[in-house]
Structure 1
Amino acid sequence: MKSKKAPITKKNYENSEGEIDFDKINELIDNGEALNEISKELNVSKEYLKNFRVKPEDEINK
């Protein structure tokens, strides 16, 4: 019998200030969890999440 995981919500990857916590997202991706939810929320493909680490926007735009 499969154990049910708690649903992944924005709260799972926001820090206490309500900002996106990229370390939490990377941890969920590394654990193979929440690819569908995170990919929809961040508007990127599941393949992108599997193959690349999520970086803060200021690092992406350098």
Structure 2
Amino acid sequence: MSAIRWSSDASARLKRVPFFIRPFVKRRAEAAARAQGEAEVTSALLDQVKSSEHKPD
């Protein structure tokens, strides 16, 4: 599995996430990037991941 890059703005946003959930957010974002065939996590991708977290079942 290749490493996923992070854009500077996405990386800055990740640093603002509380430390205790940061690993979870990072894994989710990188998994979403891989699922979409992307090589980089962007701020837009983080928005997608965030919005998918709040969808009711």
Same fold (TM over 0.5): no
Q: Determine which structure has the larger helix proportion and give its number.
A: 2
Give the number of the structure whose alpha-carbon radius of gyration is greater: 1
Q: TM-score, normalised by structure 1?
A: 0.27
Q: Determine which structure has the larger strand proportion and give its number.
A: 2
